[in-house]
């Protein structure tokens, strides 16, 4: 997907977060969304999404929103993790309501490409999900992953609730010690509860982005991993 970086403003300006007052206006209407994840067969949107940061509630399941670069490849990783009930891609941490992909690519919405991960805590806990997250991208890269440059590629963890946000910060400290021992830079991952990130909502991406690599197996993947393992 990095070809769109060539179309709009230069890479240096795309690394700078937009101020809320300068963000694109967006629109009041969300994009149409298929009923179910085409790989896992479960709904991508929970019940009563308007009261739950645009995601809805999934009874019996836990939710986290993760950003680790191009969301096509991130989603593909997590739909293969045992215990994951459903996944979806979208935009979070920004200020433009219901942005389009093209708008996000301008770095004028403040969003990062994100993956909704809904999982069964009886099978895998949040730390187990975060272990996969830390090991499959490079959280030391600020405002980029590999050749993909810009605020839309920043690393982020958006939790549902402050307790999960603290657990995520603790996991970042644990992985940060591993990263430091390897001589790499500090963890640059943004960590917050979803309600406190940007305008507090997750916006589902256009349907053609959902489970993109299942629909297009030879599609683009970017995994700028450090090659390091999260400590047991």
The tokens for 163 are 């307790």
Question: Mean pLDDT throughout 84-100?
Answer: 98
End-to-end CA distance of the chain: 34
Domain span including residue 190: 30-215
**Active-site residue identified among 70, 92, 194, 205:** 70
- Per-residue model confidence (pLDDT) at position 232: 82
Identify the CATH number of the domain in which residue 100 sits: 3.30.1060.10
- The per-residue b/e assignment along 135-160, b for 16 or more CB within 10 angstroms, e otherwise, is bbbbbbbbbbbbebbbbbbbbbbbbb
Question: CB-based burial of residue 201 (10 Å sphere; 0-12 exposed, 13-18 middle, 19+ buried)?
Answer: buried
In a domain, residue 56? The reply is yes
- Per-residue model confidence (pLDDT) at position 7: 45
Least confident of 76-85, 106-115, 163-172, 219-228: 219-228
In a domain, residue 101? The reply is yes
Whose tokens are 């215990």? That residue is 83
For residue 2, pLDDT over 50 is answered with no
- Per-residue model confidence (pLDDT) at position 13: 84
Under the banding of pLDDT at 50, 70 and 90, the label for residue 1 is very low
In a domain, residue 204? The reply is yes
Q: What is the spatial distance between Cα 36 and Cα 209, in angstroms, rounded to a whole number?
A: 13
Q: What is the spatial distance between Cα 175 and Cα 230, in angstroms, rounded to a whole number?
A: 6
For residue 5, pLDDT over 80 is answered with no
In a domain, residue 79? The reply is yes
In a domain, residue 132? The reply is yes
**Other CB atoms within 10 A of residue 59 CB:** 6
Average pLDDT in the chain: 94
In a domain, residue 4? The reply is no
The tokens for 210 are 């959902």
Share of the chain above pLDDT 70, in %: 95
For residue 24, pLDDT over 50 is answered with yes
In a domain, residue 20? The reply is no
- Per-residue model confidence (pLDDT) at position 9: 44
**Quick check: is 222 catalytic?**
no
DSSP H or E segment with residue 91? strand 84-92
Cα 155 from chain centroid (whole Å)? 8
Dmax over CA atoms of the chain, in Å, equals 47
Under the banding of pLDDT at 50, 70 and 90, the label for residue 11 is low
* Partner residues linked to 64 by β-bridges: 117, 159
In a domain, residue 223? The reply is no
Please count the structural domains in the chain: 1
Residues 6+ apart with CB under 8 A from 106: 8, 9, 24
């Amino acid at each position: 997907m990095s070809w769109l970086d060539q179309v709009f403003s230069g890479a240096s300006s795309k690394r700078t977060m937009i101020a809320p007052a300068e963000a694109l206006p967006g629109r009041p209407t969300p994009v149409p969304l298929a009923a179910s994840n085409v790989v896992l067969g479960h709904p991508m949107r929970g019940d009563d999404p308007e009261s739950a940061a645009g995601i809805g509630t999934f009874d019996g399941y836990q939710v986290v929103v993760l950003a680790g670069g191009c969301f096509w490849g991130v989603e593909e990783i997590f739909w293969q993790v045992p215990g994951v009930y459903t996944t979806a891609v979208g935009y979070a941490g920004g200020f433009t309501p219901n942005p389009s992909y093209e708008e996000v690519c301008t770095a004028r919405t403040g969003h990062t490409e994100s993956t909704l991960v809904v999982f069964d805590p009886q099978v895998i806990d949040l730390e187990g999900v975060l272990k996969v997250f830390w090991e499959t991208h490079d959280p030391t890269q600020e405002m980029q992953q590999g050749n993909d440059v810009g605020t839309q590629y920043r690393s982020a963890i958006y939790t549902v609730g402050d307790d999960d946000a603290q657990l995520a910060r603790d996991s970042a400290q644990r992985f940060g010690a591993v990263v430091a021992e390897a001589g790499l830079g500090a963890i640059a991952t943004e960590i917050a509860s979803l309600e406190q990130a940007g305008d507090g909502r997750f916006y589902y991406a256009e349907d053609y982005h959902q489970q993109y690599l299942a629909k297009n197996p030879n599609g683009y993947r970017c995994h700028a991993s450090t090659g390091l393992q999260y400590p047991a």
